[in-house]
């Protein structure tokens, strides 16, 4: 497991924040996991309204506010330390995570992606673009993936995946809605697994230990 202490989670989001809310609601009464902070890079992000409604502190911290990456990383780390954060969950966060933050939170940063990685991932592949690419490719299955975050886009070890069938009448919007329901379900599950189970990383896979008895 990541730590024997309760997880104090910061959720990073750039958009509407439905996955942020799904995590916050799921862990609201949990003794071992709690969403303690919302971080966005956009002052107009809808996630900030959700955070206010849920009574969760929120910050806007963007690389454009700083003259160097070091200043940006220092500001992030200072804010995370101030709120006692020991785990980060990315939820529609559209900025590359700087290496200084990854070094501090190695294997304690997760991301949710709306496809079955490694398919339809990488730089620029987010939101509607992913679902449009799935339909253009003619594949019969897509899905959602929770993975650990490393220094590249969507390449970190995979924690949990769930497939979603692609229908002949699907549009990107229809497909996105079905995938989002899966995201809301498996993202909390993945964080619970990492918090409660021993695991090891083999290549691009997170292997969760099986406990007998």
Residue for token pair 């992000």: 45
Domain 112-145+156-213: state its class: alpha beta
In a structure prediction context, what are the per-residue pLDDT tens digits for the chain, which is 213 residues long? 887 789 999 999 999 999 999 999 999 999 999 999 999 999 999 999 999 999 999 999 999 999 999 999 999 999 999 999 999 999 999 999 999 999 999 999 999 999 999 999 999 999 999 999 999 999 999 999 999 999 999 999 999 999 999 999 999 999 999 999 999 999 999 999 999 999 999 999 999 987 544
Residues 6+ apart with CB under 8 A from 114: 126, 127, 130, 131, 142, 144, 176, 179, 180, 183
Q: How far apart are CA 114 and CA 117, in angstroms?
A: 9
Choice among 113, 131, 147, 184 that is catalytic: 113
Counting Cβ atoms within 10 Å, is residue 5 exposed (0-12), middle (13-18) or buried (19+)? exposed
Please check whether residue 78 is in contact with residue 1, taking contact to mean a CB–CB distance below 8 angstroms: no
- 184 catalytically annotated: no
Best CATH choice for the domain 1-106 from the list 3.40.50.720, 3.10.150.10, 3.40.50.170, 3.30.56.10: 3.40.50.170
Q: Does this model's pTM top 0.85?
A: yes
- pLDDT digit string, tens, across residues 89-108: 999 999 999 999 999 999 99
């Amino acid at each position: 497991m990541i730590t024997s202490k309760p997880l104090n989670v910061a959720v990073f989001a750039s958009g509407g924040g439905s996955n942020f809310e799904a995590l916050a609601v799921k862990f609201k009464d949990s003794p071992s996991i709690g969403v303690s902070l919302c971080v966005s890079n956009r002052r107009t992000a809808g996630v900030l309204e959700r955070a206010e409604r849920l009574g969760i502190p929120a910050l806007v911290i963007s690389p454009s506010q700083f003259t160097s990456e070091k200043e940006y990383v220092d500001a992030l780390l200072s804010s995370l330390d101030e709120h006692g954060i020991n785990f980060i969950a990315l939820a529609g966060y559209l900025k590359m995570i700087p290496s200084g933050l990854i070094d501090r939170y190695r294997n304690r940063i997760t991301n949710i992606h709306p496809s079955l990685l490694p398919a339809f991932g990488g730089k620029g592949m987010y939101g509607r673009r992913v679902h449009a690419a799935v339909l253009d490719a003619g594949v019969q299955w897509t899905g959602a993936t929770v993975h650990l975050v490393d220094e590249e886009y969507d390449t970190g070890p995979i924690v949990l995946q769930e497939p979603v069938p692609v229908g002949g009448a699907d549009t990107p919007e229809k497909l996105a809605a079905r995938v989002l329901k899966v995201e809301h379900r498996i993202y909390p599950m993945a964080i619970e697994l990492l918090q409660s189970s021993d695991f090891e990383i083999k290549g691009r896979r997170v292997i969760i230990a099986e406990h007998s008895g």
